[in-house]
Structure 1
């Protein structure tokens, strides 16, 4: 398994334009929320318990993030649980409303992503490595923390791999 620095650095190679990163601040959360909304409607019986698809994917994602970084993994856990709570009422809507909202948010999120990559002049990272779909949300969190002046060492390590950001 690649380290946190390697994962963020590799993802960062596709995200050096500040405009691209800005579109990702909105696009990636929209996509993640839409996927959680879609998966929250899938019920999985486990003995006496029933979980939904979103809970399963959030759990697996958080385990992966925790393996990369305990502190960032815990932050992602809080964010993903909050998104799951917000998605629950949408998943309970009538089928057509649930689908329209979820797919609409998903498409809007991807439109923002592709606008950002137009500015970047590069394809999305997941085209070359599917793990980019899981690293994207973590990258957005890390970039936000870097902007707040936190995780300076990690920021330096990522920049060593990906290079400096461009306007």
Structure 2
């Protein structure tokens, strides 16, 4: 099993309910977009070119995603290239409008996340492992690719392992705690 499959499986173990996955299709992009908006306002001019904190974070995340999988990394790069200009426009609004929009989008995104986890009856993955915050966007992308009929071999291995991990998580909940 590749590192990508391990990380997706670990994340998927908390996301086996289709209602939860659907809410993540809305929540995670909203959260990521809001974070790009928030960080696109901070920056510096380097050799006549403005470099924002958002660019640095997005570049680092794309490098990480590319290290896990070239195809998913390139698709994520394309998504970020499309999202960044809009986020940069939001970052240029007045302070009040920028903060209100960015924080509002962030809150709405998290509402969708928590509604999904209500259906799942599991806490978000990042509560057990902070890497879930970085894997969430990749998981949503992977789920979209799987729904389109691509990379089904990865999906099959991911789901098989996720179900095993979920069964172990559920078993731990049922075991009595000895003090």
Instruction: Determine if the TM-score, normalized by the shorter chain, exceeds 0.5.
Output: yes
28-37 vs 78-87, which deviates more?
A: 78-87
Following superposition, the deviation at residue 46 of structure 1 comes to: 3.9
Cα distance in 2 between the residues matched to 1:140 and 1:103: 21
Following superposition, the deviation at residue 48 of structure 1 comes to: 4.9
Q: Equivalent residue for 1:38?
A: 38
Q: Equivalent residue for 2:11?
A: 11
Q: Equivalent residue for 2:76?
A: 76
CA-to-aligned-CA distance 1:106-125 (integer Å, 9 cap, x gap): 00000000000000000000
Q: Equivalent residue for 1:65?
A: 65
Q: Equivalent residue for 2:129?
A: 129
Following superposition, the deviation at residue 44 of structure 1 comes to: 3.1
CA-to-aligned-CA distance 1:23-81 (integer Å, 9 cap, x gap): 00000000000000000000134455430011001000000000000010000000011
Equivalence map 1:35-114=2 (5 Å): 35-46=35-46, 48-114=48-114
SS in 2 for 1:122: coil
- TM-score, structure 1 normalization: 0.94
Number of residue-to-residue matches in the alignment: 164
| Aligned-pair Cα RMSD in Å | 1.6
Off by >2 Å, runs of 4+ in structure 1: 44-50
CA-to-aligned-CA distance 1:130-151 (integer Å, 9 cap, x gap): 1111100000011011111111
Cα distance in 1 between the residues matched to 2:19 and 2:87: 28
SS in 2 for 1:130: coil
- TM-score, structure 2 normalization: 0.88
Q: Does 2:86 correspond to 1:120?
A: no
Q: Does 2:136 correspond to 1:144?
A: no
Rg larger in 1 or in 2? 2
Cα distance in 2 between the residues matched to 1:100 and 1:15: 30
Structure 1 residues without counterparts, runs of 5 or longer: none
